[in-house]
Chain A
Amino acid sequence: MAEPKTAEAEELMSAYLDEQLAPEEAARVEKLLAESPEAREELTGLQSMLKLVKGLPEVEAPPDFYEKVAKKIRRKRLLGGEGLWLLALPFQVLSVVLILVVAVTYMLLHLDADPSGQLEKDPTVQPPQPPASPAADPGHPAAPR
C-alpha cells in the first residue's frame, strides 16, 4: 500500500501534467517520479490516454440548430399563453359535436344491420286476445236480447 505522502503525490499527477501545481507540489511529484518506476509508467500512460482524448474531433451542432431552438420557443410561448385556448375552443366544440354525430350514426346503422339487435317474438308468449264481442256473450249486459 502506498504511503500517505506518496498517495498524495500520485493524486497530484494529473494537475502536474496540466501545470496546475505550486512549485513545492510540483517538486513532490518530481521526487516521486524520480524514485518510482511505477509512477513514471503511470505518468506515461496518462500522457498517452490524454493524447487520444484531446485528439477527439470537435463536434458541430446541426446547421439549423438556432432555427429549431427559435421554433420550440415560439411553440412553447404559444402553448404557454391563454390565447391558444380561446383560439382552439371552437375547434374543440366542433370536434366533440362531430364525434357525437359519428357515434350516434354508427350506433343507429349498426343496430339496423345486426340481426341480434332485432326484436324477436317469443313463441311461448300468447298474443293478447282481443276483447270479446258483446254479441257473442249472451250474458253480457250489452248483448242484444
Chain B
Amino acid sequence: MKAMIIDDEPPARRELRRLLADFSWIQIVGEAGNVSQAANMVESLSPQLLFLDIQMPGGSGFDLLARLEHLPQVIFTTAHDEHAVRAFEVNALDYLLKPIDPARLAAALARVKNAAAAGVLQPGAVLEQLFVRDGPQCWFVPLREVSLLTSEGNYVRLSWGNAHPLLGRALATLEPRLDPARFFRANRRQIINLDFVESVELGVSGRLHAQLRDGPEVEISRRQTRLFKLQRGI
C-alpha cells in the first residue's frame, strides 16, 4: 500500500519511517515537510494512506485535507493536539501520539488493513468521501451518506444526516467526480442521492418532484425530468 509521511520535523519523519520498516506491506512513496509541498506530492503520487501531522508551517494538516482533490485515508500523528483530532466528527482511521508507541502503530495499521479488505480504500475515478471544514468543525463525509448537494454560489451545502456543512468548492467541479449511478442532477442548483429518494410525483407543470427521506422535496427541472424518465424507464 502506498503511503506518505507529512511532518515538518525531519527527526519525526525518520522515526516514523523506522517504525514503519516492520510493516513490509506499507510502501512509503514520499515525505513532505509543509502543506503546499505535500499537496503537490499527494496529487502526483496518489498515495492511499497519509501519516499527517497537524501543526505545520504554512497551514495545518486540516488545511491540507481541505485542499486535496483525491482524499486518501488518514492517520493523524501529533505531539499534543489529540483533542483537535478527537473533536472531529471522526472517521479518520486513527490518530497516533508522538513519540509513537509501536503497539499503537500496529493497531492503527491493522485497522487500515481491515478497511482495505472491506474495499474502502479502492482508488478510483469516483469520489467516495470528502473532507469538509466548516468553521471550527471538520468532517470526513462519506458521499453515500449525503442525501442532497445544493449549490450556494461557489460553495456546496451538503445534507448529511442532521449536519449541513459547507464545502469550499463549486458544484460544477464536483459533479463530474460523483458516482453517476448514485447521484442525479435534479436542477441547476441541486444534485440528489438516488438512494435517498422515497417517492417521485408528477407535478401540475409536468415536472417531477422527488421526496427525499428525512429531507425536503426537490423539484426536477423540465430537461432533467425527461432524462430521469428515460433513465428510469418511466
Bound together: no
